[in-house]
Amino acid sequence: MEKIAVILPVYKNDKVPYVHLSIDSILNQTYKGKVTLYVGVDGSVDRDLCACLNEYESKGVKVRWFNENRGLAIVLNDLLDIVRKDGYEYIARMDADDISMLDRLEKQMTYLLAHPEIDVVGGAITEIDEEGKSRNKTIIYPKGPKECYDFFAIRNPHAHSAVLFRWKFFEKAACKYRPEYRQNQDTMLWGDGMRKGTKHANIPDVVLRFRFTNSLFKKRRNGWDFAKKQLADRNMINKILGYGFGATVLGYMMFIMLVSPAWVKKIAYKVLR
């Protein structure tokens, strides 16, 4: 059976209980082939998180310790280089605060083997709160390549931590993650890929529990500079992929939302998500 590498970045602010749940959800997958987890530690971490990762390293998890915090894109690229050197053709993404469904990789690999034209597959996600309780919200992403392309005019066609790549995605895209992006790396990766003809899909099954925290908007989506960068990125994607005037208008609407107070963002998230 095909073997799968899973790449998972870890940072100093990641909570040990969340990391345990995330890693265990990968180690206990129902997929019968070989699954190897590669963790990239981006900068220094506290004693408890270090002990947690050392424990998993002793159980066969591949942990790469990077002394300097260099950003998500660089860590992911380093992990991609490592798994490629180790001979992996299939690479899954995972985040340290999310939880994969135990049959996630089995279902996604089954799909890719049945659809050799597809370069990356995601799936539906369901939201959980800080305590792991359901928020009663499931997000279903577009099904096939045409639907993913059309959907990308509005927002990302995948949940980043829920995808399984073929290595040929990166060969087709002729790039990996753009290192100059400390945020928005996935958006630019999808744009770079689609521009070169990568084929995207999602399965309808829920493959991931996405942890939605109260600090989500304050931590990731605040700031005038970030909003301007988001708008510039969206306008560039609209141009290279040939999206129309409507996509440009949506980009400016997103800009207004990003510079709005947190309570406005929460309302917009509920409506648009």
Which pLDDT score, from 0 to 100, does residue 233 have? Answer: 85
DSSP conformation letters of 193-227: HHHTT--EEEEEEEEEEEE--TTHHHHHS--HHHH
Which pLDDT score, from 0 to 100, does residue 247 have? Answer: 74
- The domain segmentation of the chain, as residue ranges, is 4-213, 215-273
DSSP conformation letters of 15-66: -HHHHHHHHHHHHT----S-EEEEEEEES---HHHHHHHHHHHTTT-EEEEE
pTM of the model: 0.91
Residue 31 in tokens: 């997929």
Which pLDDT score, from 0 to 100, does residue 268 have? Answer: 56
Under 8 Å between Cβ of 94 and 5:
no
Which pLDDT score, from 0 to 100, does residue 89 have? Answer: 98
pLDDT one-digit tens code per residue, 170-198: 999 999 999 988 778 999 999 999 999 99
- Note the CATH architecture for domain 4-213: Alpha-Beta Complex (3.90)
Question: 161: closest CA among 82, 91, 81, 98?
Answer: 98
Q: Report the distance separating Cα 153 and Cα 166, nearest Å.
A: 24
pLDDT one-digit tens code per residue, 192-250: 999 999 999 999 999 999 998 866 655 545 567 778 888 888 888 898 898 987 777 77
**What does DSSP say about strands 200-211 and 120-128: parallel, antiparallel, or unpaired?**
parallel
pLDDT band, residue 271 (cuts 50/70/90) = low
- 135: part of which helix (H) or strand (E)? strand 134-139
Q: Report the distance separating Cα 91 and Cα 67, nearest Å.
A: 24
pLDDT one-digit tens code per residue, 95-119: 999 999 999 999 999 999 999 999 9
Which pLDDT score, from 0 to 100, does residue 248 have? Answer: 72
pLDDT one-digit tens code per residue, 29-83: 999 999 999 999 999 999 999 999 999 999 999 999 999 999 999 999 999 999 9
Q: Report the distance separating Cα 247 and Cα 231, nearest Å.
A: 11
Please check the confidence at residue 10 and state whether its pLDDT lies above 60.
Answer: yes
Which pLDDT score, from 0 to 100, does residue 158 have? Answer: 98
Under 8 Å between Cβ of 253 and 266:
no
Mean pLDDT across the chain = 91
Which pLDDT score, from 0 to 100, does residue 216 have? Answer: 61
